[in-house]
Amino acid sequence: MTAPPVLFPPRLAKIEVDARLPVVSGRILIVDDDERQRTAMAAMLSDCDFDTQVAADGQEALERLTAFNADVIVSDLVMPRMDGFELLRNLKERGDLTPAIALTAFGSMEKALSGGSRSQGILVPGEAGGTRAFKTLLERAIRYKRSLQRTDALKRDLSLRGVLGDLVGVSPAMQQIFSLIRQVAPTSAPVLIRGESGTGKELVAREIHKCSPRCDGPFVAINAAALPETLVESELFGHEKGAYTGAMERSAGCFEQAHGGTLLLDEIGEMPQSIQPKLLRVIEDLRVRRLGGKHEIAVDARILAATSQELGTHLREELLLSLSVFQIVVPPLREHKEDIRRSPMSCCRT
């Protein structure tokens, strides 16, 4: 294989390898439909003191992962039944942050990159560099995975002590909120956050973002109640220069600004009826067309919505169903008074 691209989450690329770091061993899952290739790699990595298992395709890899807690996945991209791209998409949807190194014989780097852009990591072209360089890369990936595990353990410990980011509370009600955040954060599912004004809905949304695989991406919030109806469409979808009077230059909308991160649609019940069908289409298709634009733009943003009102008569049924795949209800402070002395919630926005 020549110039194999390497795929891993963006933060891993920023970690510098220090030669003084101790040798790291870990669990490697090798995924390749070529039996000779995967067997040879497993033998080579075993000689380097890695614990290895193999799978013939992406589907078998998912089955292996139920019992084998891999630190790193080394995968071919072109395979029958389930290829490497589909495997990585499945892992992302499950909230599995295991770093992946993708080895491929793609003749076209553009084809590899187009597939990788839809997965949970990035593709970086580079030479294989021999066994030593490959081993160094694996050790770096293992350190990254274990740092994630330590961070997650710390967050869980803090939440049990009544702290999750900027959220504070030891009451059963707040512990339930913390549990729901941890449950839904790793997924890509839309979340509807309900609660009275001042209960901290935006803080909940921000913690979902911080605990998610998108935590390094942008967090963008738009408040439908704070915008004139004439500007909502432009704020959401963006506009081209000259799209309307006063549009002096091209502007990206909130969906584009939140690409790779999270978009909070605050006070979704105030969304104008005329905009709701367009909003539903963008949420379903993940493609947006700026006002005055001729082409659709692919966007990758996790959608959260918040409301302080009942939505039955305010939102189209299809839009409400699309946004409320998962719901979190934030109780007012009067319903968990034991948190009053230690909680900043009474002065929260939203």
Q: What is the pLDDT of residue 14?
A: 38
- Rounded CA-CA distance 120/100 in Å is 9
Cβ count near 345 (within 10 Å): 22
- Cα–Cα distance, 303 to 265 (Å, whole number): 7
Q: What is the pLDDT, as a whole number, of residue 243?
A: 67
pLDDT at residue number 77: 83
Give residue 164's pLDDT: 67
Q: What is the pLDDT of residue 249?
A: 80
Going by C-beta distance under 8 Å and a sequence separation of 6 or more, which residues neighbour residue 326? Answer: 184, 187, 189, 190, 191, 192
Cα–Cα distance for residue pair 13/19, rounded to 1 Å: 16
pLDDT at 6: 44
Determine the pLDDT at residue 96: 76
Using CA atoms, how far residue 236 sits from 43, 243, 258, 276, 289, in Å, is 53, 14, 10, 11, 10
CA distance 132 to 134: 5
Tokens (6 digits) for 270: 């105030």
What's the confidence (pLDDT) of residue 214?
Answer: 84
CA distance 157 to 160: 5
- pLDDT of the residue at 166: 72
Q: What is the pLDDT along the chain (350 residues), one digit of tens a residue?
A: 333 344 444 434 433 444 444 456 789 999 988 888 888 889 888 888 889 999 999 999 999 988 888 888 988 888 888 888 888 888 877 777 788 888 765 443 444 444 443 333 333 334 444 567 777 788 878 877 776 776 666 566 665 666 666 777 778 888 888 888 888 888 888 999 998 988 889 999 999 998 887 888 899 999 988 888 778 888 888 878 766 777 678 788 899 999 989 999 999 988 888 889 999 999 988 898 888 778 888 888 999 999 988 877 788 889 998 998 899 999 888 877 776 755 444 434 44
> What pTM, to 2 d.p., does this model score?
0.59
Sign of CA dihedral 255, 256, 257, 258: positive
What Cα–Cα distance (Å) separates residue 196 from each residue in 122, 149, 226?
Answer: 40, 34, 17
Write down the pLDDT at residue 11: 38
Long-range contacts (CB closer than 8 Å, 24 or more residues apart) made by 142-145: 142/24, 142/25, 142/26, 142/71, 142/72, 143/15, 143/21, 143/24, 144/8, 144/9, 144/11, 144/12, 144/15, 144/99, 145/26, 145/71, 145/72, 145/97, 145/98, 145/99
